[in-house]
Structure 1
Amino acid sequence: MQTVVITGGTSGIGLSTADLFLKNGWNVMIIGRDEQEGIEIEKQLGQKYSPAQIKFAQADISKAKDVEKAKQITLDAFKTVDVLVNNAGIVIHGELHETSEEDWDKIFAVDVKGTFLVSKAFLPAMIKQDHGSIVNISSVSGLAGDRAMVAYNAAKGAIINMTRAMAIDYGKNNIRVNVVAPGPTNTPLFHQDKQKFAKNSPLNRIVEPEEVAAAIYFVASSAGSAITGEAIPVTADFEISTGQPM
């Protein structure tokens, strides 16, 4: 049985991704910051599928010590790691002159450094087994700019170029590395007016987390075996408009 590790897997896109991998017969390790929430999600998914398939490890992914502990829990439980989904992230709003140094450091610590630390922890196992797939979660905001989201734009853009570099470095080890870049998605992190955002989509809606999970599963699995170093938008074509009023 194959194993996937998902950071930020207790809600939203991460939880939908965990559910989809479990449905397809994978072992799933969820890594999250909130221990109580994680234990509850492990229990719920264990009842829905099999308790042997799902485990939770508490970690602050911006801290190397926490990440190493979560890695060891994963390897003790499942022995191998076939797929890593770096999904954990935070959002901070504000124009550059309004953004504090603390907020700038915080978003880079979680979104960028966290992706770095978790990948660094699990890559040796993938190199040893000579296969693996990493899916980093960026955003349409990593592909283009937004108003008053400069720190988020910078962090999500960094993830995309880090992914390209990783794909180049680890192709020799049969490890694929890709990005899925969601548009506005119906998760607890999205607090804006959904109908207002939907007007920018030809489909007149925002994205559901299950749709992002489907893209993650595709690119992570053998179905995406020829895909590496790519940024795959899942946006309901949110980003294609020039912004002209109708």
Structure 2
Amino acid sequence: MGQDWEFAATSYTKTYHREQYPAIDPKNPANSVKGKVVVVTGGGAGIGLRISRAFVEAGAKAVAILGRRQNVLDDAKRELEGFGASKILTFSADVSDGDALNKAFAAIKEQVGPINITVANAAYLNSGLLLEVDVDDWWKGYEVNVKGTLLTYRAFFANKSDDKPTFISLNTGASHAMVAPTMSSYGTSKFANLHLVTYLAAENPEVRAVSYHPGVLESEMNSKGTIKFSFDDMSLPAGFAVWLASDKADFVQGRMLWAHWDVEELEAMKEDIVKKNDLVAKLSGFGSPN
């Protein structure tokens, strides 16, 4: 059961990007994370690895990558060390294992200092029709995409820096912009993830918490799906993550953005975005949360 989709909704900004551009370039001085400690879950491969690379290129003091496969993390560490002077740490941990996460984040703080930025990238995609899918595997999407995000946030919060800490959760357009048959576990768990981050932002305003759709990217996870999309360049979500951690993104608290949207246009609209409470989950035609 396959289908080819050109995944592009009406853009919130006039400009719709599909690859990195100067305003989100990690090497742009405005996006510098010099002296900061960054953690990326699922950071050993695919988009997580490219995001980790972007923070290295942006000058991070240290980048810690978490994942389930130590051999993959070891390969990633060697690769990342070629892109800058950041200290690269690796920790084998499953995001659905709270104890493992707590130990990893505490060790990161002990070794390189309080954590400034955490990117919750680890995710799970189950594919199949609801009446045919293995329910336990379907539910694993919630274990990783919802529970795992909460556990990651709690481990980060306990070891965060007091200097503008930022929590970035990778989401998907499939959570709110479309209904894709066979992808119900991913779409519904990611919608729950989106609203979870809104609550985390509301309850802990001292931490910038934001969700974003990274685009559609060639990855091990996406290869499991039965719906095929046109792909964006990995440089787009990597640079966008670095921008989200910058001072220019000080208005994104609790919101959902797309990496495709032009950040300079978003910056110009920020007062209106906050005033209207745009880019938050709501029931279409009924209003928006306070």
Q: TM-score range by the shorter chain?
A: 0.7 to 0.9
Letter aligned with residue 184 of structure 2: V
1:178 deviates by 0.4
2:147 is the counterpart of 1:113: yes
Q: Does the 8 Å contact 2:57/2:83 carry over to 1? A: no
In the alignment, structure 1 residue 63 sits paired with structure 2 residue 88: no
Structure 2 counterpart of 1:80, from 90, 94, 114: 114
Q: Is residue 63 of structure 2 the alignment partner of residue 31 of structure 1?
A: no
1:140 equivalent to 2:165? Answer no
Contact 1:207 1:234 survives alignment (8 Å): no
Structure 1: tracts of 5 or more residues without a match? 199-205, 237-246
Which residue in 1 is equivalent to 2:202? 168
Q: Distance in 2 between matches of 1:68 and 1:234?
A: 29
Of the three residues 200, 215, 218, the one matched with 2:243 is: 218
Q: Could you say which residue in structure 1 is the equivalent of 2:220? A: 188
Unmatched runs of 5 consecutive residues or more in structure 2? 1-34, 262-290
Q: What is the Cα deviation at residue 185 of structure 1? A: 1.3
**Does 2:162 align with 1:129?**
yes
Q: Secondary structure, in 3 states, of the residue corresponding to 1:21?
A: helix
CA contact (8 A) 1:142 1:181 kept: no
Shift of 1:131: 2.9
8 Å CA contact 1:207, 1:235 repeated in 2: no
TM-score, reference length from structure 1: 0.84
Partner letter of residue 184 of structure 1?
V
Taking the aligned partners of 1:150 and 1:190, their CA distance within structure 2 comes to 14
1:149 paired with 2:186, answer no
Structure 2 residue 76 is matched with structure 1 residue 44: no
207-216 vs 1-10, which moves further: 207-216
Label 1:140 to 1:105 Cα distance change in 2 as closer, same or farther (>3 A). same
Task: Tell me, in whole angstroms, the C-alpha distance in 1 between the residues paired with 2:152 and 2:127.
Answer: 25
> What's the counterpart of residue 231 of structure 1?
256
Q: Give the deviation of 1:54 after TM superposition.
A: 1.1
Q: String of CA shifts for 1:112-135, please: whole Å, max 9, x gaps.
A: 111111101111333x72631111
Q: Does the aligned pair in 2 maintain the 1:164–1:177 contact within 8 Å?
A: yes
Conserved 8 A contact 1:28-1:53 = yes
The one-letter amino acid of 2:211's match is: V
Cα distance in structure 2, aligned partners of 1:196 and 1:164: 29
TM-aligned CA deviation for residue 197 of structure 1 = 2.6
Q: Which amino acid aligns with 2:89?
A: K
Matched to 2:166, the amino acid is S
Say if 2:178 is the partner of 1:178: no
Deviation at 1:235, TM superposition (A): 5.3
Cα distance between partner residues in 2 of 1:225 and 1:11: 29
Q: Which has the higher contact order (CA 8 A, sep 6+)?
A: 2
Which string of whole-angstrom CA distances, capped at 9 and with x for unpartnered residues, describes residues 25-55 of structure 1? 10211011101110121122224423x5211
SS state of the match for residue 191, structure 1? Answer: helix
Between the aligned partners of 2:119 and 2:134, the Cα distance in structure 1 is 29
Q: CA deviation at 1:4?
A: 0.9
Give the secondary structure class of the aligned counterpart of 2:190: helix
Q: CA RMSD in A?
A: 2.2
Shift, 1:58, TM fit? 0.8
Q: Which amino acid aligns with 2:219?
A: T
Normalization by structure 2: what TM-score? 0.72
Letter in 1 for 2:217: T
The amino acid across from 1:11 in the alignment is A
Rounded Cα–Cα distance in structure 2 between residues aligned with 1:150 and 1:15:
26
Instruction: Among all aligned residue pairs of Structure 1 and Structure 2, give the percentage whose two residues are the same amino acid.
Output: 24
Alpha-carbon distance change, 7 to 14 in structure 1, aligned in 2, over 3 angstroms: same
What secondary structure, in the 3-state scheme, does the structure 2 residue paired with 1:96 have?
Answer: coil
User: Runs in 1 of length 4+ with deviation above 6 angstroms?
Assistant: none
Of the three residues 89, 101, 123, the one matched with 2:123 is 89
Distance (Å, rounded) in 2 between the aligned partners of 1:99 and 1:73 = 39
Distance in 1 of aligned mates of 2:200 and 2:146: 13
